Structure formats: C-alpha cells, structure tokens
C-alpha cells in the first residue's frame, strides 16, 4: 500500500514529481492518509470501479453544497460590506480607468483601432467589464479554497460548498457590472437591439469558461503558490490576446483564443450584432470541461488535503 501524505507539521515539501505520482496513483491503488490522531484509509479503488456510485455520490453532495455555499456567500457579503468603504465601486474602477485611457489614445490617433460596432468608449467598457467577469470566475475556485484552507483540512464541509459560495459572489458582481454596462451604453447613445436580452447568457458562458479553467488548475494551485503567480502573469498576457479594446481580427492568435467568441458575441449583442459561429461549441466544451475537472478534483481531494495537512 502506498502512503500519500504525512503527519501535519512534518515540514517536508514534496517534489513536483512526487505530487504528480501521488495524484496519478489514485487511478490504481488505495492511499493511506495519516491524520494527527490515527491513520484513515481512503481508497480510490471503489470510486473508480463503480463509476455510477461515484457519480451518484458526487450529485448527492450538490444540494448540501448549494445550501452551505449560499450561507457562506451571505456571511462573506456582510463581512465585505463592513470592511470596505467604497464597496462595489472597486468593481468598476479598472474598467472606467481603461476606458478613459483607451478613448484618449484613440482620439489622439496614438493607437489606430479601426471602426467598431459600438461607440469606441462603449466598446472598451463592455470589453473590460466582460473580461473582468471571466477572470474573476477563473480565480474564484483557487481563491475561495485558499482562503478557507483551515475549513478544508479540519472539517467535513464539502469543498464544492466553498467554491459555490465564490460562484454566487461572481454572479452578483457580474450582475452589477452588466447593469452599469447597460446604463453606460444608453448614455453613449447605443441603439439597443432585442439581442441585448442575450447579454446575460453571454456573461454566463464567460463564467462557465472561467470556472472550467479554474477547476482544471485547482489541485496544483492549492499545493503550490507558484500556480497563483502564474495565473496572474498568464491572465495579463491573455488580456492582450483578447479583443477587449480592439476589434477582433480575421485571423491570428485571437481566433484560437476561447474567450474571443464569447466576449465578442456578448458585446455585439448590445447593438444589432450576431453571435460568432464558435459561441455554442466553446460554451458546450467549457461545460464539459467543468464537469470533468470537478470530478477529477473529487478524486484528487484526499491527496490534496493530505499534503495541506
């Protein structure tokens, strides 16, 4: 039998190759996780030999996770209101600043952007707010579980509940951003089309894609702080490959960027525009990846908790 984990406080940092072997070993053998008091045997074999039982157990946790996640969300919301004087203004400040700067550069012909479907200021503001929704969803799983590390290791609260609490926060922040976007678009003189009713659907697709990426990197992000730093760097570079403040070109790297069809379609729905042909395939792929990443995390969870101690 393979021992995966150690006595909390032992102080030995596992090597990356050892972590990889440990995560992969859940597909082949049971694993012993040592607690402070006594060893507890957590076997991966029954989950893998009985896929139906594994899926039923995963689904059975969801109602409880939703209830706990809602309670955590409300508690976090009250705490945030007490700690912040400006509150939700921080959600809008980056987008507003970027809109002012980009509009100034474009008006002075310092940067040539070309024609856009919406007035350029509305184009940039919509792109920034939708990008923020995506990035916030991407960061939510790792941020929530990192903040709640003691709850993860010392209680039996489903990890999904902690993540769902963060998802509720992403949804609230996204709704606020969309409301501000609608008001700003009207102020900029945008001619609304009936497709504006599809904008929340596009925002939901961006959240779905962000959560899928966030869940994929979650096991390694909990084990290594380097992953969180890499996410910050990666999203900065990713921003410039996404048509946030410029019009999406016909080819190049932006066309293989999965965010491009979702963001571009959602923004075009504000005016009389249509969806990209890749919108539905990317959304369906994001949903499938999210489910698979969630199931993989459930398998990897005992190993991750053992390493966190």
Residue-range definition of the domain harbouring residue 168: 64-303
In b/e form, how buried is each residue of 90-101, taking b as 16+ CB within 10 angstroms? ebbeebeebbee
- Residue 13 placed within a domain: no
- Residue 178 placed within a domain: yes
User: Measured between alpha carbons, how far is 278 from 255 in angstroms, rounded to an integer?
Assistant: 10
Q: What is the largest CA-CA distance in the chain?
A: 69
Q: Using pLDDT thresholds of 50, 70 and 90, give the confidence band for residue 200.
A: very high
Tell me whether residue 32 is exposed, middle or buried, using C-beta atoms within 10 angstroms of its C-beta: 0 to 12, 13 to 18, 19 or more: middle
Q: Are 120 and 103 in contact (CB under 8 A)?
A: yes
**Percent of the chain scoring above 90 in pLDDT:** 39
User: Measured between alpha carbons, how far is 45 from 33 in angstroms, rounded to an integer?
Assistant: 15
Q: How many CA atoms lie within 13 A of 122 on its CB side?
A: 24
Q: How many CA atoms lie within 13 A of 70 on its CB side?
A: 5
Residue 95, CA distances (Å) to 120, 143, 177, 245 in order: 13, 22, 10, 11
- Residue 95 placed within a domain: yes
pLDDT digits (tens, 9 = 90+) for 146-165: 988 888 777 778 889 999 99
pLDDT digits (tens, 9 = 90+) for 212-258: 999 999 999 999 889 999 999 999 999 999 989 888 776 777 778 99
- Residue 195 placed within a domain: yes
pLDDT digits (tens, 9 = 90+) for 79-101: 877 776 666 777 788 888 888 88
pLDDT at 152: 77
- Residue 46 placed within a domain: no
Q: Tell me which DSSP letter residue 278 carries.
A: T
pLDDT digits (tens, 9 = 90+) for 260-275: 999 999 999 998 777 7
Quote the mean pLDDT of the chain.
Answer: 80
User: Measured between alpha carbons, how far is 266 from 260 in angstroms, rounded to an integer?
Assistant: 10
User: Measured between alpha carbons, how far is 78 from 73 in angstroms, rounded to an integer?
Assistant: 9
- Given a cut of 50, whether residue 22 has pLDDT beyond it is no
pLDDT at 86: 65
- Residue 22 placed within a domain: no
pLDDT at 151: 80
pLDDT at 136: 96
Average confidence (pLDDT) over 294-307: 86
- Residue 34 placed within a domain: no
Residue 39, strand partner residues = 34
Count of the separate structural domains present in the chain: 1
Q: What is the reported pTM?
A: 0.81
User: Measured between alpha carbons, how far is 39 from 30 in angstroms, rounded to an integer?
Assistant: 13
Q: Are 41 and 32 in contact (CB under 8 A)?
A: yes
- Residue 308 placed within a domain: no
Helices marked H in 108-258: 120-147, 149-154, 159-187, 199-223, 225-240
* Neighbouring C-beta atoms of residue 239, cutoff 10 Å: 16
Q: Are 141 and 161 in contact (CB under 8 A)?
A: no
């Amino acid at each position: 039998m393979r021992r995966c984990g150690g006595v909390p406080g032992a102080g030995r940092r596992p090597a990356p190759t050892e972590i990889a072997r440990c995560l992969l070993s859940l597909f082949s053998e049971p694993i012993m996780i040592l607690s402070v008091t006594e060893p507890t045997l957590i076997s991966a074999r029954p989950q893998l030999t009985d896929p139906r039982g594994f899926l039923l157990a995963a689904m059975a946790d969801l109602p409880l996770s939703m209830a706990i996640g809602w309670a955590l969300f409300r508690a976090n919301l009250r705490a945030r209101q007490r700690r912040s004087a400006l509150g939700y203004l921080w959600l809008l400040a980056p987008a507003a600043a970027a809109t002012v700067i980009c509009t100034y550069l474009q008006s002075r012909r310092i940067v040539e952007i070309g024609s856009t479907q919406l007035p350029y200021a509305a184009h940039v503001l919509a792109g920034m707010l939708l990008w923020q929704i995506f990035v916030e969803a991407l960061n939510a799983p790792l941020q929530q579980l990192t903040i709640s590390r003691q709850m993860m290791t010392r209680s039996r609260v489903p990890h999904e509940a902690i993540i769902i609490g963060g998802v509720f926060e992403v949804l609230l922040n996204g709704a606020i951003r969309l409301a501000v976007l609608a008001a700003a678009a009207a102020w900029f003189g945008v001619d609304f089309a009936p497709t504006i009713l599809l904008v929340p659907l596009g925002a939901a697709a961006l959240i779905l894609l962000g959560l899928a990426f966030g869940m994929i990197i979650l096991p390694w992000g909990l084990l290594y702080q380097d992953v969180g730093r890499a996410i910050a760097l990666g999203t900065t570079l990713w921003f410039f490959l996404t048509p946030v403040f410029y019009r999406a070109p016909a080819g190049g790297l932006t066309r293989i960027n999965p965010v491009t069809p979702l963001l571009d379609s959602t923004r075009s729905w504000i005016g009389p525009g249509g969806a990209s042909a890749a919108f539905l395939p990317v959304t369906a792929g994001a949903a499938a990846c999210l489910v698979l990443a969630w199931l993989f995390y459930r398998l990897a969870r005992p190993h991750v908790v053992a390493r966190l101690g």
